[in-house]
Amino acid sequence: MNSQGEGHKTDLQQLPPTVNLDGSKVRQIRESKGLTQLYVATAVGVTTDTISRWENRRYPTVKRENALKLAEILEVDITEILEAEEKPSTVDEEASQDTGTPTMPASETGEAREEKVQPGEDDQDIAPSASGRKLLISILLLLIMAAVSGGTYLYFKPHKETLEITASRFLPDHSAPGQVFPVVIDVYVKPAKQRTLLVKDGDHSGIEFLKAVPNFTSRNGQFVKWIYQGDLGYTKFIYLAKIKKGVSSGDLFIFQGQVTVKERKKHSIPIEGNNLISALPFSWADINKDHVIDDEEILEAYDLLSGIKDAEKTLHEVEVLWSAGSYRWDMKKGKFQPVRKTTEPEKALKQTGNQ
Partner 1 sequence: MFQVTRIIPFLTILLFSFFYLFPETAFSGQVSGELKSSGGDEIQIFLKIRAPAPNTIIITLHLPANTAVVSARPAFAKAQPQHGEVNWLLSRVQPGNVKIWCKLNKNVKVSEIIASVRYKNPQTGKMEEDMISGSE
Our CB check for partner 1 shows the closer of 2 and 352 to be 352
Shortest distance in whole angstroms from residue 304 CB to partner 1: 9
Neighbours of 340 (CB within 10 A): 13
Q: What angle do CA 272, 275, 281 make, to 5 degrees?
A: 145
Shortest distance in whole angstroms from residue 143 CB to partner 1: 51
Shortest distance in whole angstroms from residue 353 CB to partner 1: 5
Site for partner 1 in 278-297 (CB under 8 A): 295-296
Shortest distance in whole angstroms from residue 315 CB to partner 1: 8
Q: What is the 3-state secondary structure (H, E, C) of 263-278?
A: ECEEEEEECEECCEEE
What does residue 246 show for φ and ψ, rounded to 5 degrees?
Answer: 95, -10
Our CB check for partner 1 shows the closer of 111 and 346 to be 346
Under the binding rule (CB under 8 A), the answer on residue 349 touching partner 1 is yes
CA distances for 95 relative to 20, 21, 52, 86, angstroms: 16, 18, 21, 20
190 forms bridges with which residues in the sheet? 164
Of all helices (H) and strands (E), which one includes residue 227?
Answer: strand 223-243
Under the binding rule (CB under 8 A), the answer on residue 168 touching partner 1 is no
Our CB check for partner 1 shows the closer of 250 and 307 to be 307
Our CB check for partner 1 shows the closer of 33 and 316 to be 316
Shortest distance in whole angstroms from residue 172 CB to partner 1: 17
Return d(Cα 68, Cα 11) in angstroms, integer. 8
Site for partner 1 in 216-255 (CB under 8 A): none
What is the DSSP-derived secondary structure letter of residue 79?
A: G
Spatial contact of 300 and 285, defined as CB atoms under 8 Å apart? yes
Picking from 21, 175, 29, 184, the residue whose alpha carbon sits closest to that of residue 89 is 21
Under the binding rule (CB under 8 A), the answer on residue 72 touching partner 1 is no
Shortest distance in whole angstroms from residue 235 CB to partner 1: 19
Shortest distance in whole angstroms from residue 328 CB to partner 1: 18
Return d(Cα 53, Cα 40) in angstroms, integer. 13
Our CB check for partner 1 shows the closer of 196 and 323 to be 323
Spatial contact of 178 and 243, defined as CB atoms under 8 Å apart? yes
Under the binding rule (CB under 8 A), the answer on residue 273 touching partner 1 is no
Binding mask 303-332 for partner 1 (x = CB under 8 A): x--xx-----------x--xx-x-------
Identity of the amino acid at 177: P
Q: With CB under 8 A as the contact rule, which of the stretches 66-74, 199-207, 246-254, 335-343 interacts with partner 1?
A: 335-343
Q: Which residues bind partner 1 (CB under 8 A)?
A: 295-296, 298-300, 302-303, 306-307, 319, 322-323, 325, 341-343, 346, 349-350, 352-355
